[in-house]
């Protein structure tokens, strides 16, 4: 057994996104010899940089039929974020923008009323804290909401962070603990070594004691060596940001779009295109997204567009993470956080840490060999 704080176990993390970087930091803090191998030129890019940076445990648990295991994992992770944000702040090169000001889910018209009813029923079922607001109260919480507002659900525990500031902060935190982050280091093979695992690719060869596979949807390129990686499903998302012409009191998570305030911009997201992994921007889809955002908050009609971009989420066929040991010896999986990588990063990282150090295991609901059904998250 590898003992916390005393271990000199060598761990390589394949993938420098939210889950990979968070896992590296959690392990480095326990004394493991950690190396992150990121295929791209900069760690913390990919789905992490493209995301909305929302910590919407309440909304996600109520909006999706993901089950109690997901709700529990998300709740645990959200409870860790206050401490994580405090510890990461000294390592940040830009403000993290961390706040726990809640999320608001406004409903519009008869369709919105039915949607709010479903959110309330799911929140009550899963024990998620919420407030059901009438239209007047919702407008008091978030001034400027659009016409046809029938009410809202408010999830007071939810929060947000600047995802683009989070990646560099995690990289710096890992290095401060003695860990190594290597970029332009794609892994093309994972094979058995003398008591460990050998990773190889164009940049070289490395032998370690344990490997964590956390390379998002592109992990499936390693499915010949790590069979569970073939379960990954790319889910493309297109997003945009506009000038901050209105003050958001928290995240807005409506049925057709979300709004999140970041330094110098309001992020509007996001399309969801299962199976797509290209980086093509489709103006008709982003225009529809902007129109939906303007219906939620009409002040955005006067906002100049700052940026339009795409990202690819690491999905699975049932919408739940893949968390646990692989059938490939000495390989641990941290995959499939989908659109909740930032939210789930602390809890998934600490679970991975405990598996690597042989001090715990993941919930069986996230086991790599569980029955996989239809995609449950859009």
> Domain range spanning residue 127?
100-157+234-315
Q: Are residues 21 and 81 in the same domain?
A: yes
Q: Are residues 190 and 214 in the same domain?
A: yes
Q: Are residues 42 and 172 in the same domain?
A: yes
Q: Which helix (H) or strand (E) holds 347?
A: helix 341-356
Residue 235 clears pLDDT 50, i.e. is over it: yes
Tokens of 49: 């940089």
Residue 371 confidence (pLDDT): 83
CB atoms within 10 A of CB 222: 24
Q: Is residue 116 part of a domain?
A: yes
Residue 377 clears pLDDT 90, i.e. is over it: no
Q: Are residues 75 and 18 in the same domain?
A: yes
Q: Is residue 52 part of a domain?
A: yes
Structural domain count of the chain: 2
Q: Is residue 123 part of a domain?
A: yes
Q: Are 197 and 237 in contact (CB under 8 A)?
A: no
Give the CATH number of the domain where residue 145 resides: 3.30.9.10
Q: Are residues 172 and 309 in the same domain?
A: no
Q: Are residues 178 and 307 in the same domain?
A: no
Q: Are residues 123 and 76 in the same domain?
A: no
Distance of CA 84 to the CA centre of its chain: 15
Residue 375 clears pLDDT 80, i.e. is over it: no
Mean pLDDT of 131-145: 98
Q: Are residues 321 and 360 in the same domain?
A: yes
Distances (CA, A) of 310 to 278, 283, 314: 8, 12, 13
Start-to-end Cα distance in the chain:
40
Q: Are residues 130 and 185 in the same domain?
A: no
Q: Are residues 150 and 251 in the same domain?
A: yes
Whether the CA torsion 280, 283, 285, 290 is positive or negative: it is positive
Share of the chain above pLDDT 70, in %: 96
Residue 373 confidence (pLDDT): 59
Give the CATH number of the domain where residue 210 resides: 3.50.50.60
Residue 138 clears pLDDT 80, i.e. is over it: yes
Question: What three-state secondary structure class fits 234?
Answer: strand
**Burial classification of residue 57, based on how many CB atoms lie within 10 Å of its CB (0-12 exposed, 13-18 middle, 19 or more buried):** buried
């Amino acid at each position: 057994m590898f003992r916390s704080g005393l271990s000199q176990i060598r761990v390589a993390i394949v993938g420098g996104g939210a889950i990979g970087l968070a896992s590296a930091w959690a392990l480095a803090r326990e004394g493991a010899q950690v190396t992150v191998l990121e295929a791209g030129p900069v760690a913390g890019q990919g789905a992490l940089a493209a995301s909305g940076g929302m910590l919407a445990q309440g909304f996600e648990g109520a909006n999706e039929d993901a089950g109690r295991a997901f709700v529990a994992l998300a709740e645990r992770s959200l409870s860790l974020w206050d401490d994580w944000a405090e510890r990461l702040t000294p390592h940040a090169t830009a403000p993290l923008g961390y706040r726990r000001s809640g999320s608001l889910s406004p409903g519009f018209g008869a369709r919105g009323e039915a949607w709010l009813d479903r959110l309330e029923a799911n929140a009550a079922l899963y024990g998620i804290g919420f407030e059901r607001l009438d239209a007047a109260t919702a407008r008091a919480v978030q001034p400027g909401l659009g016409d046809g507002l029938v009410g809202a659900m408010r999830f007071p525990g939810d929060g947000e962070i600047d995802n683009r500031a989070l990646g560099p902060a995690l990289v710096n935190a890992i290095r401060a603990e003695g860990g190594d982050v290597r970029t332009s280091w794609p892994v093309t093979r994972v094979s058995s070594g003398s008591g460990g695992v050998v990773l190889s690719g164009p940049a070289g060869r490395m032998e370690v004691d344990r490997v964590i596979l956390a390379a998002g949807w592109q992990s499936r390129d390693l499915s010949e060596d790590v069979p569970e990686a073939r379960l990954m499903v790319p889910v493309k998302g297109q997003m945009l940001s506009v000038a901050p012409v209105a003050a958001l009191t928290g995240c807005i998570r409506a049925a057709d779009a979300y709004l999140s305030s970041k330094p110098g911009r309001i992020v509007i997201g996001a399309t969801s295109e299962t199976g797509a992994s290209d980086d093509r921007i489709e103006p008709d889809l982003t225009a529809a997204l902007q129109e939906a955002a303007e219906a939620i908050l009409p002040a955005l009609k006067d906002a100049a567009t700052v940026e339009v971009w795409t990202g690819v989420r690491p999905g699975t066929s049932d919408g739940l993470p893949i968390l646990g040991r692989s059938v490939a010896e000495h390989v641990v999986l941290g995959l499939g956080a989908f659109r909740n990588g930032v939210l789930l990063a602390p809890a998934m990282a600490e679970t991975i840490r405990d598996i690597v150090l042989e001090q715990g295991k993941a919930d069986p609901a996230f086991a790599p060999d569980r029955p996989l059904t239809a995609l449950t998250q859009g």
